[in-house]
């Protein structure tokens, strides 16, 4: 058996009968050079949201098992229709639900993990010359019940199947034609990246590039599956996500992002004693408030300032909790600011090339943009700047690192 | 384990979240006196039709396996929502798909038969105190694929489950409150029948009373399951369908029906030789034209007249075919008439009570209604009359047999 190709098509790509027919035509093309094609599909367009809305009319806290039984039907519909569309073109095809495809899950409903894939049936259908259309997002647990693996799970389903079927590449076919140096809607000179490392993609994904679910990138990294992010509507090559060591060129910076939906919270005059930060962030976590950047600095007075950013939607709630904790700790005032933006640069190249962060700071400084907070990882530098300067900072950095 | 009660709820009864909640409240009521309740649900309202429309946009002749995979999702949705609604009332419940419920099917897709039910999981869930909500209309074949059992199949699913679970009664909960002596929308004095035999119900169903699918009645008859046709919206008793021998009263006539959607075709001057009728009706069957009444009479000239009725939608097609066959056979002219109506009386009592047919003919004759064709079975007499007289004939017979 020659190599198997696995392709995932998202909800927009199968959002209408016409689009499903377009996907079928495209798969027919691929099949001319790859006899063994496995397709993983999401639910059509808003189907999953519609099903969730339906369940909310019945119960505000639906039983997770029934919730999974309900929302997994969306993928069953799109998979059957995709198989029909292929057959209508004369391409032998069969749809398989997660359970039929041998996708075995573990863990709680709605957030299961794929434990393994029994590939017997998929392989048997491929050997009969069929394109196999598998429902993403679902599997069967050991109680013989359908479970779902969380939002964005179809990408992960595709990667897991690619690994189980020993496919070297997994195509993620979507409504954009690749990963860009920054959001093309924000910076006109944004360019498509031809290759990006798993780690860079993870940073970009967590910074808000929505093209790939971080979990699927991690899963691809673990299994050494190359992801090919490409348009569902064109045959052109997109962006390959793979090991940094396998990449030809390592630019110092691969991508730049802007996030204007965060707010900054600062606690002044925090006593310099152990466990203070732990107390603050445990209480925020208890209230399910996600904290992004965290910076602690020791002032000349021997007291700390702790600053962090949260989603603007969580700001009011975070302020109340933080003020409470500040009082308990005998700290000073709590200051909040939602007129901030976060610009970030990402690139594995910055590990081996000194001065990247310096270039960033100088670029912003030279243009009079004040940096409020800085946080770094090995392959990322993020700065909080005034919101009014966010867009300009993005454009300046995109240009400074020659990404245009 | 005490007796299990099986209840089927049709598409209208689960047609919206509000109606599903009403069904859940009702089931909660029943559960107070019956600890072991199994619910069989159809797809919500128009869901199945919507899914069929979707498939037609992809393919005019969809692969039956994929078609089944697609349309079976309708029942999965309603079953999960019904289980959620029960749980929201504090009633332990679980939804099971046909495959999960152990419903094993045989035969071609879309028209499978239920071969057997492995009741292990249903019984286990009942013993855990749960109401079990099973998807009607579907099961699993030996290829591990979902199949559907044909339109109206949820009634049959319910009866088969009742038989497998040794439930003596199967409630068919629907949008009418029982079986009537005639269509209450046509005759104001129509009354609800408290008991009716399987055979009478079969005749009424095939004459167009849509309350029960004939197949489910046959299945109930074979397995000795009493059907209780009742309203989904009221707790009142409806109509029991059971063995004639178990019934208290056998009225000569149980119901009267009117069907105005047929047309009559007659071939005159047919040579009296063997195989003629066979030729005509084989050709019509080849074109998938369903023929209802068939009457052949030998005229004084030694030639036959063959008359039959077909659905008005099939008349044009039937005319062309019949004229062709008539030419081949050297028969005379073909005459068609779509200004006809069929009135029928049904009752097991007529077997033991002579003169029932005579009363019918006299009643119509006394009121100047001309009878064009007659066909009888042991428990049914049908007459074709002019369409303009159909409604009056129905009212006269309903009154003559004291059904009001």
Query: CATH number for the domain including A53?
Result: 3.40.1160.10
Asked if the model's pLDDT at residue A305 lies above 90, the reply is no
A306 contact partners, CB below 8 Å, separation of at least 6: A266, A267, A270, A276, A277, A280, A294, A295, A296
pLDDT digits (tens, 9 = 90+) for B203-236: 998 777 778 888 999 999 999 999 999 999 999 9
Q: What are phi and psi of B340, to 5 degrees?
A: -125, 160
User: What residue in A sits closest to B92 (Cα-Cα)?
Assistant: A63
What's residue A206's pLDDT?
79
Give the separation between CA A110 and CA A50, rounded to whole angstroms: 17
> Structural domain of residue A33, as residue ranges?
4-175
Does residue B248 surpass a pLDDT of 70? no
On chain B, the residues whose CB falls within 8 A of the CB of A62 are 84, 87-88
Average model confidence (pLDDT) for chain A?
92
Number of domains in chain B: 1
A100 in reach of chain B (CB within 8 A): yes
Encode pLDDT of A336-386 as tens digits.
999 999 999 999 888 878 789 889 999 999 999 999 888 888 889 999 999
- Mark B162-193 as b/e (b = at least 16 C-beta within 10 Å): bbbbebebbbbbbebbbbbbbbeebbeebebb
Average pLDDT for A159-175: 96
Instruction: Please check whether residue B73 touches A, CB under 8 A.
Output: yes
B94–A80 C-beta distance less than 8 A: no
Residue A294 lies in a domain: no
Q: Residues A239-254: pLDDT tens digits?
A: 999 998 877 666 889 9
**Count of residues for chain B?**
404
Q: Kindly state whether residue B294 falls inside one of the protein's structural domains.
A: no
User: Does residue B180 fall inside a structural domain?
Assistant: no
User: Is position B323 within any domain?
Assistant: no
> Does residue B51 belong to the interface with chain A, where contact is any CB pair within 8 Å?
yes
User: Distance (Å, rounded) from C-alpha A345 to C-alpha A272?
Assistant: 32
* Average pLDDT of span A248-277: 86
What does the alpha-carbon distance between residue B84 and residue B41 come to, in Å, rounded to a whole number? 14
The tokens of A272 are what? 């310099």
What mean pLDDT is predicted for residues B271-291?
85
Query: Is A85–B51 a contact, with Cβ atoms under 8 angstroms apart?
Result: no
Q: What is the pLDDT of residue B105?
A: 96
Q: Assess if residue A275 is contained within a domain.
A: no
Q: How many residues does chain A have?
A: 404
Q: Residue A298 falls within a domain, yes or no?
A: no
The yes-or-no verdict on residue B257 having pLDDT over 90 is yes
In a domain, A74, yes or no: yes
Residues B323-367 have pLDDT tens digits of: 999 998 888 899 999 999 999 999 988 887 878 888 999 999 999
Cβ atoms B263, B338 nearer than 8 A: yes
Which chain A residues are Cβ-neighbours of B54 within 8 angstroms?
17, 77, 81
Tell whether B97 is covered by a domain.
yes
CA distance B50 to chain A (A): 12
**From CA A178, how far away is CA A265, in angstroms rounded?**
35
pLDDT band of residue A278 (cuts 50, 70, 90) is confident
Q: In angstroms, rounded to a whole number, what is the distance separating the alpha carbons of residues A195 and A198?
A: 10
E-assigned strand segments in B121-181: 131-135, 138-140, 146-148, 169-174
Question: CA–CA separation, A36 vs A161, rounded Å?
Answer: 13
Residue B357 near residue B206 (C-beta atoms within 8 A): no
For A10-62, write each residue's pLDDT tens digit.
Answer: 999 999 999 999 999 999 999 999 999 999 999 999 999 999 999 999 999 99
Q: What is the pLDDT of residue B151?
A: 67
Three-state DSSP state, A68: helix
Please count the CA atoms within 13 angstroms of the CA of A183 that sit on its side-chain side: 16
A143 in contact with B at a CB cutoff of 8 Å?
no
Q: Which of A267-271, B154-158, B266-270 has the highest mean pLDDT?
A: B154-158
Hey, of A81, A96, A133, which one would you mutate to test binding to chain B, going by the most B CBs within 10 A of its CB? A81
Flag whether pLDDT at A152 surpasses 70.
no
- Segment B281-296 shows an average pLDDT of 87
- Name which of B225, B227, B249 is nearest B347 in CA terms: B249
- Please report which confidence band the pLDDT of residue B249 belongs to, taking 50, 70 and 90 as the band edges: low
Strands (E) in B221-339, as ranges, are 226-231, 239-242, 255-259, 262-270, 291-298, 304-311, 334-337
Contact A67 B83 (CB under 8 A): no
Predicted confidence at residue B339, as pLDDT, reads 95
Identify from B81, B101, B120 which residue to disrupt to test chain A contact, counting A C-beta atoms within 10 A and taking the largest count: B81
The stretch A311-325 carries a mean pLDDT of: 93
For residue A294, what pLDDT is reported? Answer: 86
The secondary structure of residue B379, as a DSSP letter, is T
Total CB pairs under 8 A between chain A and B? 107
pLDDT-derived band at B45, boundaries 50, 70, 90: very high
Name the band, by pLDDT with cuts 50, 70 and 90, for residue A329. Answer: confident
- What mean pLDDT comes out for the span B257-286? 88
Residues in chain A with CB shorter than 8 Å from the CB of B73 are 73, 76-77, 80
B349 to chain A, minimum CA–CA distance in Å? 48
Test A69 with B59 for CB contact under 8 angstroms. Answer: no
CB-based contact, B110 to chain A, within 8 Å: no
Q: Do B84 and A62 touch (CB under 8 A)?
A: yes
Query: Of A58, A84, A95, which is closest to B59 when you measure between CB atoms?
Result: A84
The pLDDT, as a whole number, for residue A312 is: 93
Average pLDDT value over all residues in chain B: 92
Q: How confident is the model at residue B48 (pLDDT cuts 50, 70, 90)?
A: very high
pLDDT number for residue A350 = 86
The pTM score is: 0.85
């Amino acid at each position: 058996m020659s190599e198997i190709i696995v392709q995932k098509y998202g909800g927009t790509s199968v959002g209408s009968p016409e689009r499903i027919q377009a996907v079928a035509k495209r798969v027919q093309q691929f099949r001319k050079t790859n006899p063994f094609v496995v397709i993983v599909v999401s639910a059509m367009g808003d189907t999953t949201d519609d099903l969730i809305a339906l369940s909310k009319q019945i119960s505000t806290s639906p039983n997770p098992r029934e919730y999974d039984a309900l929302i997994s039907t969306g993928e069953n519909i799109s998979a059957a229709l995709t198989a029909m569309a292929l057959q209508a073109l004369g391409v032998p095809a069969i749809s398989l639900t997660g359970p039929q495809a041998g996708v075995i899950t573990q863990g709680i409903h709605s957030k299961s993990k794929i434990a393994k894939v029994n590939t017997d049936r998929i392989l048997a259908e491929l050997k009969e010359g069929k394109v196999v259309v598998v429902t993403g997002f679902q599997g069967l647990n050991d109680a013989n019940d359908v479970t779902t693996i969380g939002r964005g799970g179809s990408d992960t389903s595709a990667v897991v199947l690619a690994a189980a079927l020993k496919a070297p590449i997994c195509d993620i076919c979507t409504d954009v034609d690749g990963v860009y140096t920054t959001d093309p809607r924000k910076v006109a000179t944004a360019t498509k990246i031809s290759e990006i490392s798993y780690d860079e993609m993870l940073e970009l994904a967590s910074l808000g590039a929505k093209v790939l679910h971080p979990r699927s990138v991690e899963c691809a990294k673990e299994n050494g599956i190359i992801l090919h992010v490409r348009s569902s509507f064109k045959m052109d090559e997109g962006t390959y996500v793979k090991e940094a060591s396998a990449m030809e060129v390592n630019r110092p910076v691969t991508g730049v992002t802007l996030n204007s939906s965060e707010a900054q919270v600062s606690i002044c005059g925090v006593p310099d004693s152990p466990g203070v930060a732990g107390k603050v962030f445990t209480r925020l976590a208890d209230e399910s408030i996600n904290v992004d950047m965290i910076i602690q600095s020791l002032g000349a007075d021997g007291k700390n300032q702790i600053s962090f950013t949260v989603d603007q939607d969580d700001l009011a709630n975070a302020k109340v909790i933080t003020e409470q904790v500040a009082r308990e700790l005998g700290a000073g005032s709590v200051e909040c600011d939602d007129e901030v933006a976060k610009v970030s640069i990402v690139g594995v190249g910055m590990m081996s090339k000194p001065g990247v962060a310096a270039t960033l700071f100088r670029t912003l400084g030279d243009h009079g943009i004040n940096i409020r907070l800085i946080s770094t990882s090995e392959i990322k530098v993020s700065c909080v700047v005034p919101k009014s300067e966010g867009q300009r900072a993005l454009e300046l950095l995109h240009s400074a690192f020659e990404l245009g």
